């Protein structure tokens, strides 16, 4: 995948050039890690430190997926809040969640020091402030729950900062440049003897005594253990996907006067919520204010452009900042039904197939927790977090969320008989796509910059949802389990691991409007 073909770009992408080889032979190793994001590379690094041989397979180019599109808040103050975490997992579970996310930030700090990684890592304070429908008493409840979880250096401030009103101040949070860190991690993996291959889309995962991973090009990696670190498990048809849901989260970046906005991590209790941080570069005379939020279920927003506009309006109203948007992008967030990631043996599969999934908006810390925990599980070390993050866990207190999310998923299959889209391709301009329906047959059609019409089955190869066109990012998004495909049908996000099936491709140059729109191929 070529990053230059994306329609949206994160502020980190200028650091994303790191050439890595493709796989051109069969290999044998101790552990095969699928996915070269934060989860995969942290796991590979820590396993190599334990003396294991590791091969990492990445389906795209370096830093082309979710880690490169994170806002990189490194926080042990969880988005769901400790009131909710304690309700779902009890006091002990809440304490373990705090301890594990704290350990993740410390592990990142240690790796940066040990490997001399220059990635703008900075310790700072975090601030949780009220949304429009919350009040001071809600913050008090969260403060007390956080203290029960283990926080000590924490305080409730009535006046807050930046005219945000009452807030909880969490000390010793952190931020960094995720792509610079990922590159340092990749370099360390290679230095320790690990092998990383890009453009290696996996088509088969087989556990058991003859474990192997097969790529789409037919190359085989034979191994003893397999780690699937692909944001959502591409080897799992249903079990995990009923316990988590895919969301898009949006970020805008605005250049502002240096030191106009105080350093810190900021997030609110609104629904959908907002999150804010600064990115500073000493080589320029401005800061970049990163503002995120406006989350929605993947494939279930008819006009994603509105999400960027609403973020910009919120910045103007909240901080009186009226700057042009210099960066804008979105990322895929996977929400588990009970607020914590799934890390461990994949349910229903062989005991040597492990997964890391369900980042819950804390992809960097959950991904680092995955590296620590999976290394312990593979190496036979005891780990106190194992049960808390077990993919086999059953959360009875999260049952309402489980039912509502799965009802939402089931409802999306209505598109088979009454699609929200049913558009003729004849009037598609260059760079546009649409789904057309003929009975129960759905076709995804995209017209490229040369006027050629590309047609694919609109049926998601995962579990048969009907994909929808995303005009902002020029992608086909499945509203059921969040699989995403480029405008040319190439898989971007799982759980699908196959492309959309092509149909006959037809050009209609006589019907084309006189529009010279650039072709946008894929994002994420």
Q: How confident is the model at residue 237 (pLDDT cuts 50, 70, 90)?
A: low
- pLDDT for residue 504: 63
Alpha helices in 116-175 (DSSP H): 136-149
Residue 3 has pLDDT above 60, yes or no: no
Query: Angle, to 10 degrees, between the axis of helix 136-149 and the axis of helix 82-115?
Result: 60
Nearest-CA neighbor of 337 among 101, 93, 80, 77?
A: 80
- pLDDT for residue 405: 65
Residue 427 has pLDDT above 80, yes or no: no
- pLDDT for residue 524: 24
- pLDDT for residue 514: 32
**What does the alpha-carbon distance between residue 23 and residue 198 come to, in Å, rounded to a whole number?**
7
Alpha helices in 280-342 (DSSP H): 305-319
Tell the burial category of 173 from Cβ atoms under 10 Å away from its Cβ (0-12, 13-18, 19+): buried
Token duo for residue 66: 């979710």
Q: Give the number of other Cβ atoms within 10 Å of residue 153's Cβ.
A: 9
Nearest-CA neighbor of 15 among 71, 83, 64?
A: 64
Residue 513 has pLDDT above 60, yes or no: no
| Arithmetic mean of pLDDT over the chain | 87
Residue 519 has pLDDT above 60, yes or no: no
Mean pLDDT of 211-221: 96
Residue 280 has pLDDT above 60, yes or no: yes
Measuring CA to CA, how many Å separate 409 from each of 405, 478, 491, 495? 6, 10, 20, 14
Mean pLDDT of 280-309: 88
**What does the alpha-carbon distance between residue 204 and residue 196 come to, in Å, rounded to a whole number?**
18
Mean pLDDT of 227-242: 82
31-41 pLDDT, tens digit per residue, is: 999 999 999 99
- pLDDT for residue 299: 86
Residue 136 has pLDDT above 80, yes or no: yes
Q: Give the number of other Cβ atoms within 10 Å of residue 222's Cβ.
A: 15
Residue 521 has pLDDT above 60, yes or no: no
- pLDDT for residue 438: 76
- pLDDT for residue 388: 97
Q: How confident is the model at residue 441 (pLDDT cuts 50, 70, 90)?
A: confident
**Lowest mean pLDDT, pick from 166-180, 226-240, 261-275:** 226-240
Beta strands, E only, 130-243: 154-157, 167-175, 195-197, 202-206, 212-215, 220-222, 225-228
Q: Do the Cβ atoms of 336 and 342 come closer than 8 Å?
A: yes
Residue 188's H or E segment, with its range, is helix 178-191
The more confidently predicted of residues 174 and 407 is: 174
Mean pLDDT of 69-94: 95
The more confidently predicted of residues 395 and 87 is: 87
The more confidently predicted of residues 196 and 335 is: 196
- pLDDT for residue 255: 94
163-197 pLDDT, tens digit per residue, is: 788 999 999 999 999 999 999 999 999 999 999 99
Sheet of 433-438: strands edge to edge? 433-438, 441-447, 452-457, 506-507
- pLDDT for residue 520: 29
Q: Which domains does the chain have, with CATH numbers?
A: 117-174+245-334 (3.30.9.10), 415-511 (2.102.10.10)
- pLDDT for residue 28: 98
Q: Which residue has the tokens 């989350």?
A: 295
What's the gap between Cα 52 and its chain centre? 27
The more confidently predicted of residues 283 and 352 is: 352
Q: How confident is the model at residue 450 (pLDDT cuts 50, 70, 90)?
A: confident
- pLDDT for residue 400: 72
- pLDDT for residue 309: 94
The more confidently predicted of residues 385 and 137 is: 385
Q: Is 342 helix (H, G, I), strand (E, B) or coil?
A: strand
Q: Give the number of other Cβ atoms within 10 Å of residue 144's Cβ.
A: 14
Tell the burial category of 390 from Cβ atoms under 10 Å away from its Cβ (0-12, 13-18, 19+): middle
The more confidently predicted of residues 403 and 280 is: 280
Q: Do the Cβ atoms of 413 and 426 come closer than 8 Å?
A: no
**What does the alpha-carbon distance between residue 67 and residue 69 come to, in Å, rounded to a whole number?**
5
**Lowest mean pLDDT, pick from 140-144, 217-221, 440-444:** 440-444
- pLDDT for residue 406: 64
- pLDDT for residue 398: 59
Residue 198 has pLDDT above 80, yes or no: yes
Residue 15 has pLDDT above 50, yes or no: yes
End-to-end alpha-carbon separation of the chain, Å? 9
Nearest-CA neighbor of 338 among 274, 384, 401?
A: 401
Q: Do the Cβ atoms of 43 and 229 come closer than 8 Å?
A: yes
- pLDDT for residue 235: 76
């Amino acid at each position: 995948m070529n990053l230059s073909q994306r329609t949206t770009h994160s502020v980190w992408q200028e650091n994303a050039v790191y050439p890595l080889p493709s796989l051109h032979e069969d290999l044998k190793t101790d552990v095969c890690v699928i996915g070269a994001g934060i989860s995969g590379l942290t796991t590979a690094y820590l396993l190599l430190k334990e003396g294991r041989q590791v091969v990492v397979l990445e389906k795209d180019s370096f830093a082309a997926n979710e880690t490169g599109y994170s806002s990189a808040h490194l926080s042990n103050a969880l988005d769901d809040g400790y009131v909710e975490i304690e309700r779902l997992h009890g006091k002990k579970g809440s304490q373990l969640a705090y301890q594990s996310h704290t350990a993740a930030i410390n592990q990142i700090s240690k790796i940066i020091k040990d490997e001399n990684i220059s990635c703008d890592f900075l310790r700072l304070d975090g601030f949780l402030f009220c949304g429009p429908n919350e009040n001071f008493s809600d913050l008090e409840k969260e403060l007390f729950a956080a203290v029960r979880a283990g926080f000590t250096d924490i305080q409730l401030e009535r006046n807050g900062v930046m005219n945000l009103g009452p807030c909880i101040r969490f000390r010793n949070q952190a931020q960094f440049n995720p792509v610079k860190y990922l590159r340092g991690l990749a370099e360390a993996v290679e230095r320790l003897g690990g092998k990383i291959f890009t453009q290696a889309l996996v088509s088969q995962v087989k556990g058991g005594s003859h474990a192997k991973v097969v790529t789409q090009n037919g190359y085989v990696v034979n191994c003893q253990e397999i780690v699937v670190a692909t944001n959502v498990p591409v080897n799992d048809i249903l079990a995990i996907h009923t316990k988590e849901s895919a969301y898009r989260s949006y970020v805008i970046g605005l250049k502002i006067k240096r030191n106009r906005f105080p350093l810190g991590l900021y997030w609110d209790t609104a629904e959908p919520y907002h999150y804010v941080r600064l990115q500073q570069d000493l080589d320029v005379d401005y800061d970049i204010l990163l503002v995120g939020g406006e989350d929605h279920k993947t494939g279930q927003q008819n006009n994603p452009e509105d999400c960027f506009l609403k973020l910009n309006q919120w910045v103007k109203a909240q901080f009186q900042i009226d700057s042009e948007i210099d960066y804008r992008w979105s990322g895929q967030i996977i929400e588990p039904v009970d607020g914590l990631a799934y890390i461990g043996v994949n349910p229903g599969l062989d005991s040597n197939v492990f997964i890391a999934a369900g980042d819950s908006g804390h992809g960097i810390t959950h991904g680092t927790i995955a590296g620590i925990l999976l290394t312990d599980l593979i190496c036979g070390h005891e780990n106190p977090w194992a049960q808390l993050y077990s993919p086999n866990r059953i959360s009875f207190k999260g049952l309402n969320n489980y039912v509502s999310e799965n009802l939402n998923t089931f409802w999306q299959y209505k598109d088979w008989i009454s699609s929200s889209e049913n558009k003729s391709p004849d009037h598609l301009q260059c760079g546009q796509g649409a789904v057309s329906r003929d009975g129960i047959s759905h076709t995804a059609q995209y017209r490229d910059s040369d006027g050629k019409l590309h047609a694919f089955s609109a049926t998601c190869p995962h579990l048969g949802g009907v994909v929808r066109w995303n005009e902002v990012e020029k992608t086909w998004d499945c509203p059921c389990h969040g699989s995403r495909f480029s405008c040319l049908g190439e898989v971007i996000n799982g759980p699908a691991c196959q492309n959309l099936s092509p149909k006959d491709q037809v050009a209609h140059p006589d019907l084309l409007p006189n529009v010279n729109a650039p072709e946008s191929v894929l994002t994420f």
